[in-house]
Amino acid sequence: MPTHDDEHDIEAVQDGMTTPGVGGAAPADDATMDDTAERTDGADTAAAEAGGDDKDKPAWYRRVRWWGWVLIAIAAVVVAFIGTVGTQALLVKHHEEAAIAVVKDAVKNNRLNDLDGVVADVQKQTRAARDITNGGLWSFTEKIPGIKGSMRVVRMMTDVVDEMAQDTAPKFVDVAQRIDVKSIYKNGRINVEPIMQSLPELDTAAQSLQRYTEEFDRIPEPGIGVVANALNSSRGMLDKANRYLQAGIYEYAPKLPEWLGYDGKQTYAILAMTPGEMRASGGLVGAVGTVTIDDGKIEIGDFQSSAAFPGYKVTARNLSEDEARLYKDEGPMRLNYDARDIANSPDNVRVAQYFKDIWDQTDMGKHTELNGVILADPLMVQSLVKVLGDVKLANGTVLTGTNTADFLLNTAYKEYAPEDTDAMFGTVAKACVKRLMGDLSAGKMVGLVSEMLTLAHDRHLSVYSFDPTLQQILWERGLTSTVPLDEAKPEIGIYVTENNPSKMGWYIKRSTKITQLDCGEEGAAKYHVEYTIRNTMTDEESKTLPDYITGIRSEYPDSHGTSFEKIVFMPPAGGSMSNFEVTGNGADPVADSLNFRLIYTTMTQVQPESTVTYSFDVTVSPDATQKLGIDETPTTSAKPDVTYTKLCRVQ
């Protein structure tokens, strides 16, 4: 029978460590431990040596005791377990991503006529993910300290996603299949009745989505960062989708009859701008047209020059004090704010309000309510031609998706009388709308919507509705241009007003170079900006091109081909501008105000073959989550020329 001391030594060996003796005795030394270990497993060791099993093993192998092999075995099991759990987690991720890919591929490959098959494929993937997270191994991990909360969150996420795939998605598909798409759009008319009849079923589907969205939002925050990021990202996307669908079904759909003219004709004014003569929000308005919607049928009326309708004597009377001071009272060119000048506000809400005031003063306005205003330039018309097909003018000129803007912005002014150029915009626009209403396939619709959103982002198109609910949709889709308002998405505003009556905008090229500063510092991000204006007109062209293009001011007889630009620099929302410097023939910007926003104004004279550069520093809001952007008066190019020479990682 072992003594008390013998038992203590044996326990120490079994725990793989030495322990203090009773009453403060010194710890056992290495020799004692080895001796004890040899006594404990002596029989096994002797047997192994007798058989010669270990003679050919490496030295490290012969030195590992039995307890070492136990630890190695345990470690191997742990690694295998973790690997298995990790593999299952990757499979869950794979199935959920596969479900998303099914939907994307269906849209890309025009498989939307097989919605049942699409939903079945999605359900297969979400159910596979759910089966994994509801299996025995996954359930075991939900009991392991440190990860159990996060593993439970993943299971809850897959449960809700699968329930939506099995329950909510089929409800929406049923509605979509009951609606005959061809009956909605036929012979240039939008029939709203099938949509209105489907509202009860849409209500049921919306309630299902709302229920699962709320269930998803109740999932607790996990401790593991990767899982937390996935949860918050998914929650944000689901909340956004649910918000849009709820609004669409309960707020927007009931108003469709009104918006489509079933409750009375809707009338929108179309203002044809030309960036060839720059105004803050686009360009001088050369022609005015109308588009009407009556019982679902869209028709575009004739365009008239702004001189004919409404005429130069009818002006906007609702300018703010700042607007009147900056652009009407101060020179060098005092704008009249008749229809030609009303695009001279960076906020297109104000542009719509200007025009409505003018509209209400006309005979047409006294009998016809104006429901909204559309601003469009030749780049927008070119996009219509690109999607809907070439347009042939009466003189045989063929306008395509690549030459339309060039023709309307420059060639027409060289080859035709000024009064004829305004009518050409209307001719092309009417031809496009006629095709739009007569042959609008799903592919063309997708292409058209994509083009319009891009054009609106770069200020070649802007739409404003005086109906608050419809205008909310336009805001959300980015179809109404305004000044920088979002601190999280910082932008500086650069707005130009040409003070030389001309079409010099075609020859003026503007570019912006942005360099981020102090990447390692805490706090709001800082940038250095260089804004360059280059006049590409040659001296020879300034002397030979028509005055209508080069411009001439009686007080400046040598002003042919010179651009006189009044520029407004507006800091980003929640940010600031500082340290202005000018290279070339421009004045130093000075602080001013525009409708309760701090701005900096300057005048510059850009002569043929010359360049002016403004450089300054910008500090954005501490709440910024994106890089600094530029919101500027649209150019004669489709996109602004912005270059980033250095960017830091946005936190």
CA–CA distance, 93 with 79 (Å, rounded to integer): 21
Tell me the pLDDT band of 8, cut-offs 50, 70 and 90.
very low
**pTM (global) more than 0.85:** no
For residue 8, give the nearest of 224, 396, 64, 27 by alpha carbon.
27
Q: Is the pLDDT of residue 454 over 60?
A: yes
pLDDT digit string, tens, across residues 20-78:
333 443 444 444 444 444 444 444 444 444 445 555 666 655 555 555 545 555 555 55
Predicted confidence (pLDDT) at residue 142 exceeds the cutoff of 90: no
Domains of the chain: 4-61 (no CATH), 70-259 (no CATH), 266-476 (3.40.630), 491-646 (2.60.40.1170)
Residue 342 has pLDDT above 80, yes or no: yes
Q: Residue 335 — very low, low, confident or very high, per pLDDT cuts 50/70/90?
A: very high
- 266: pLDDT strictly greater than 70: yes
Read off the pLDDT band of 1 (50, 70, 90): very low
Q: How far apart are CA 258 and CA 552, in angstroms?
A: 49
Whether 216 and 230 have beta carbons less than 8 Å apart is answered as: no
Is pLDDT of 327 > 70?
yes
What integer pLDDT is reported at residue 576 of this predicted model?
A: 97
For 133-145, what is the mean pLDDT?
84
pLDDT band at 10 (very low <50, low <70, confident <90, very high): very low
* pLDDT of the residue at 46: 44
- DSSP codes of every residue in 289-350: EEEEEETTEEEE---EETTTTT-TT-------HHHIIIIIISSSS----STTTTT-SS-HHH
- C-alpha 487/C-alpha 243 separation (Å) is 22
At 11, is the pLDDT very low, low, confident or very high (cuts 50, 70, 90)? very low
| pLDDT range class, residue 16, cuts 50, 70, 90 | very low
What pLDDT does residue 92 have? 73
Residue 386 has what pLDDT?
A: 87
For residue 461, pLDDT beyond 90: yes
Per-residue pLDDT, 438: 65
Residues 222, 232: Cα–Cα separation, whole Å: 10
Question: Does 82 have pLDDT greater than 60?
Answer: no
Which residue is it, tokens 């709203």?
192
| Higher-pLDDT residue of 49, 583 | 583
List the structure tokens of 564.
């006189």
Q: What are the strands of the beta sheet with 563-570, ordered from one edge? A: 590-594, 597-606, 563-570, 491-498, 629-632
Tokens 């590409």 belong to residue? 536
> Bigger pLDDT: 83 or 374?
374
Summarised one tens digit per residue, pLDDT across range 248-265 is 999 999 999 999 999 999
Distance CA 457, CA 631 (A): 9
pLDDT at res. 646 = 87
What per-residue confidence (pLDDT) applies to 480? 96
> How much is the mean pLDDT over the chain?
84
b/e 104-139 (16+ beta carbons within 10 angstroms → b): eebeeeeeeeebeebbebbbebbbbbbebbeeeebe
pLDDT of residue 459: 95
Q: How many CB atoms lie within 10 A of CB 519?
A: 11
Residue 111 has pLDDT above 70, yes or no: no
- The answer to whether residue 516 scores a pLDDT higher than 70 is yes
Query: pLDDT tens digit string along 267-298?
Result: 999 999 999 999 999 999 999 999 999 999 98
Q: Quick check: 219 pLDDT over 50?
A: yes
Residue 96: pLDDT above 50? Answer: yes
For residues 355 and 271, is the Cβ–Cβ distance under 8 A?
yes
For the segment 117-121, the average pLDDT, to the nearest whole number, is: 86
Residue 626, number of CB atoms within 10 A of its CB: 13
Measure Cα distances from 392 to 319, 421, 626 in Å.
Answer: 41, 15, 44
* 203-207: average pLDDT: 93
Amino acid letter, 278: M
- Per-residue confidence (pLDDT) for residue 559, from 0 to 100: 82
Q: What is the pLDDT of residue 33?
A: 41
Task: Please indicate whether residue 85 or residue 415 has the higher confidence score (pLDDT).
Answer: 415
